Structure 1
Amino acid sequence: MSAPATGAADLLVIAKEPVAGRVKTRLTPAYTPAEAAALAGAALRDTLAAVAAARAGRRTLVLEGAPGPWLPEGFAVCAQRGGGLDERLAHAFADADAGRPLVLVGMDTPQVTAALLERACAALATHGAVFGPAADGGFWLLGLRRPDASLLRGVPMSRADTGAAVLGRLRAAGLRTAVLPVLTDVDTPADAAAVAAAAPGGEFAAAVRALGTRLGTRRGVGPGAGLGGRTVPA
């Protein structure tokens, strides 16, 4: 675990406890609910490991459910609150606001690295916001130099234009925004295979190899996933 860095941005991970039937439901029926939960748990562990290794301030897990042995030392834990995803994200920023920049990441991009998170934190020294677009039209990371929950409330989530809507909010607020590379959220079996191939050294890739690659879904319109994107079965 990297020690908290004085003056650095705080890092938030918003996640669900990896319980069968409650996480990664769009990986089924290609994977069983238990297998989907195992993949979700591996993705969460990889994400937490990257956050733990990054030079940052306070690290907080904003969790739906209960923490388990998968949680590294050095993380504060707070419960998600609010109804829709926009409210839960807004509350996450409000609850964690300690007067320092905040960077929030989800659990659906296990390929994220400590270096990429540090790049996001560093961007807030010269930008009002930092944004990580997801391949499905959502976003995988959002950072704010001066946290403002109102920037997220009312943003339409689970749509292919969610990322564009968030960027529009940031720019309408006059925030100079740094944009990070596009990453693929793990939502479908095809996504799982692609992310495992892109980051073969992590626990998520090992879990995909152990369970086997199972394709058969494509991206498109349909229910939401990740931090605002959406997919539909083929």
Structure 2
Amino acid sequence: MRRPADAATPAARYARRRPRLVVMVKAPRPGRVKTRLGAGIGMVPAAWWMRHQLRALLPRLRDPRWDLVLAVAPDAATGARDWPAHLPRLPQGTGDLGARMGRVLRTAPAGPLCIIGADIPGVTRAHIARAFRALGHAAAVLGPAPDGGYWLIGLARTAATPATLFDGVRWSSPHARADTEASLPGARIAHVDRLADVDEAADLPRHA
């Protein structure tokens, strides 16, 4: 006799949960986005770079294997015309980067979830697919960046997101990745491809 849908095993229920890729974005306005880059090349060119980057990045990351969602800052820009109309959007809310990413991880529908920033020119669907595959055997996954941070964080979310996640992380420092790993004590953490983001003017030549 066929088992009722709600009698499926936990493993089977997990297998049906659809992966979700969340891209953290800021409205591309001069003086409000990529200000460290803007300090070197000017705020208007920095905002233009971000707008161009978004136009190239978002279509490249669409894939039938996962849902693509934008987490938007400021919250009031969720309905702006800067974003593709077909993509779901949610507000990032208040707080530092850890508070905002933690909110996404705790409130999203069940299933594996990865978060990336919008300023990684080299990221492809293959990089994202490898991160989701890593969550098949690890509780968390990080994509290291050369500066000691990371361009991707993901959780399998087979259990509640730890309350300690992102506690004590020194953002925008060489310690960000190590601090994040320390905020996940006992969790099995996988690492995937090493990619660079664009924070300052000196980062641009690598992606020209």
Which structure's CA Rg is the greater one?
2
- The structure with the greater share of residues assigned to strand is 1
Corresponding letter in the other structure for 2:196 = T
2:180 to 152, 158, 166: 166
**Are positions 1:181 and 2:190 aligned together?**
no
Distance 2:98 2:45 in 1: 28
Shift of 1:78: 0.7
C-alpha change, 1:6 and 1:44, in structure 2 (3 Å) is: farther
Distance 1:46 1:165 in 2: 31
Corresponding letter in the other structure for 1:178 = A
Corresponding letter in the other structure for 1:148 = T
Query: Does structure 1 conserve the Cα–Cα contact (< 8 Å) formed by 2:167 and 2:183?
Result: no
Gaps of 5+ in 2: 1-14
Identity across the alignment (%): 36
Shift of 1:127: 1.4
- Tell me what 1:102 maps to: 113
C-alpha change, 1:118 and 1:27, in structure 2 (3 Å) is: same
Gaps of 5+ in 1: 197-234
Shift of 1:19: 0.5
**Are positions 1:148 and 2:161 aligned together?**
yes
- Tell me what 2:11 maps to: none
C-alpha change, 1:60 and 1:10, in structure 2 (3 Å) is: same
Query: Does structure 2 conserve the Cα–Cα contact (< 8 Å) formed by 1:136 and 1:185?
Result: no
Shift of 1:69: 4.2
**Are positions 1:86 and 2:94 aligned together?**
no
Q: TM-score, normalised by structure 1?
A: 0.73
Extract structure 1 runs of 4+ deviating beyond 4 A: 67-70
Distance 1:102 1:74 in 2: 20
- Tell me what 1:139 maps to: 150
Equivalent position SS for 1:75: coil
- Tell me what 1:203 maps to: none
Distance 2:162 2:28 in 1: 26
- Tell me what 1:46 maps to: 56
Shift of 1:32: 2.3
Shift of 1:106: 0.6
C-alpha deviations, 1:192-233, integer Å up to 9, x for none?
Answer: 11123xxxxxxxxxxxxxxxxxxxxxxxxxxxxxxxxxxxxx
- Tell me what 1:63 maps to: 72
- Tell me what 2:3 maps to: none
Shift of 1:37: 0.2
Query: Does structure 2 conserve the Cα–Cα contact (< 8 Å) formed by 1:24 and 1:36?
Result: yes
Name the count of aligned residue pairs.
Answer: 188
Q: RMSD of aligned C-alpha atoms?
A: 2.1
Shift of 1:139: 1.0
Distance 1:178 1:140 in 2: 14
Shift of 1:154: 4.0
Equivalent position SS for 1:28: helix
